[in-house]
Structure 1
């Protein structure tokens, strides 16, 4: 059987879930067909986040085909033998686009995935039409979040212990979850137990990485969205990105770190407006 056509039992009428071997790495890939097939949106998720955690945002996009994959060591993608760097993940994503038959894509990254998105735009400028950065920073050169929130990020405990997740979510993610802690329940239920080694690999991939030396060279139109109440990545980091990326616009959303989930409809509306705007192409 052609592996392109192999679908896992997790596939739904709206989302096609496949297991693909890309560059020797098995990846769980999810694709939602909802619009422009010539230039889909390639989405990079947050640290240790399986693709299902992005499903509310994917389903809120009404005119945009979206591609996402579980990072090696996350969700349905096996953990590799050796650690990797963000440049390796960008290369893996470029190979995935080629395997799927796409010559170009818009690229979005959330939190940790924002680093991969920046790296992809820098590494493969001809493959990236527009760039969307959400709740993220330039990496090592950033204004850190609150110490208590950052300490909770050292281990993946919140991804494997739902009771702990419910306990720490309001102070960790802020925004809508701070106001209504019950909003974390669907998110917690969609989590697939994080792999400790996979989580460590993601931390190592980001260690010492920064986009500051080359952000000035990015030519893609860029939309930066930051949560106004984000304990993990304070919105000042969005202002730093906005200052360093030549063709960028910055928007604040009245929410916390998880606005791609807790404000999925509003976030999707802003993203699609940016992607469809011919004046930013």
Structure 2
């Protein structure tokens, strides 16, 4: 397992597959690189995909000190530096989209094209989920909270066609995360606020979102697209938060078409 060293000496595990122009895939909150397992091959062999385990997840170090989306972005740059990649496409979903925003803002020369999926600008301008959803996710019964998360990720029809999805989904969090890292991920995502900085994004940008996303409300998508100069917006009908998996036959070609544009 290769590792990059972040500016604060934290070791960041990363994974590289495929051939072609590098595409960095950034996972959601409290998830490692397995978030992308079911769809990663959609980008091969046209793209060389790069994933990483956020600090606190997977095989990366798990320091017990504050995390932030800005800091996660610097970890991404450390991985690119370790690989000798000067410029890459970046596709982030959920919290990964928040991280991707900072990569594009702080390191514009490193980002060729940017895709932001099911994410938010954060801060006072971001649209928060219904408090009832947050309450259900905080259920003292971990199994009940996990079932709530599953319903936020996938439609009932998809779940019915995927027996055992609750036990094998790769997007419901890294089960091996220590409690301190899970808490620090949650705070990093909650404190994200890139609103004032988004106007400085120079990379061509595609914003994707499901129309039925209650985990990260769909209303955030037009906010992002309106804030980033020249950004394109595409809403996927009926999709929930894990649109990239359930609606992969729509989402993956959209991303590849956008990334392949001149």
Compute the TM-score of the two structures, normalised by the length of structure 1.
0.82
Report the 3-state secondary structure (helix = DSSP H, G, I; strand = E; otherwise coil) of the residue aligned with 2:214: coil
2:18 paired residue among 17, 33, 45: 33
Q: Does 1:232 align with 2:215?
A: yes
* Matched-pair contact (CA < 8 Å) for 1:43–1:108: yes
Deviation at 1:166, TM superposition (A): 5.9
**Unaligned regions of 5+ residues in structure 1, if any?**
1-6, 8-17
Paired with 1:97 and 1:214, the residues of 2 have a C-alpha distance of 22
Gaps of 5+ in 2: none
Q: Is residue 137 from structure 1 mapped to residue 117 from structure 2 by the alignment?
A: no
Superposition TM-score, scaled by structure 2 size:
0.87
Number of equivalent positions: 253
- Tell me the alpha carbon deviations over residues 74-126 of structure 1, each in whole angstroms, 9 at most, x when there is no partner: 12223113112222221121111011110011111111111100011001011
What displacement does 1:70 show?
Answer: 1.1
**8 A Cα contact 2:12 2:79, kept in partner:** no
**Quick one: which of 225, 229, 233 aligns to 1:242?**
225
Q: Distance in 1 between the 2:213 and 2:79 partners?
A: 32
20-29 or 241-250: which moved more?
Answer: 20-29
Match of 1:199 among 182, 187, 193: 182
Partner of 1:117: 100
Question: Structure 1 residues 192 and 84 mapped into 2: Cα distance closer, same or farther (>3 Å)?
Answer: closer
Give the conservation status (yes or no) of the 8 Å contact 2:5–2:78.
no
1:177 matched to 2:177: no
**How much is the aligned-residue C-alpha RMSD, in angstroms?**
2.3
Among residues 196, 202, 206, which one is paired with 1:213 in the alignment?
196
Q: Any idea what SS the aligned residue of 1:81 has?
A: coil
Look up the SS of the partner of 1:133 in the other structure. strand
Aligned to 2:89, what secondary structure does the other structure show?
A: strand
1:43 to 10, 16, 25: 25
State the SS of the aligned residue for 1:56: coil
2:243, 2:138 → 1: CA distance?
A: 22
The answer to whether residue 44 in structure 2 is matched with residue 59 in structure 1 is no
Whether 1:146 and 2:130 are equivalent positions in the alignment is: yes
1:60 CA drift (Å)? 1.4
CA distance in 2, matches of 1:186, 1:170: 8
SS of residue in 1 equivalent to 2:50: strand
Cα deviation 1:248-269 (Å, max 9, x = unaligned): 0000113110012222232111
Q: Distance in 2 between matches of 1:86 and 1:166?
A: 24
My pick for the range that moved more, 48-57 or 183-192, is: 183-192
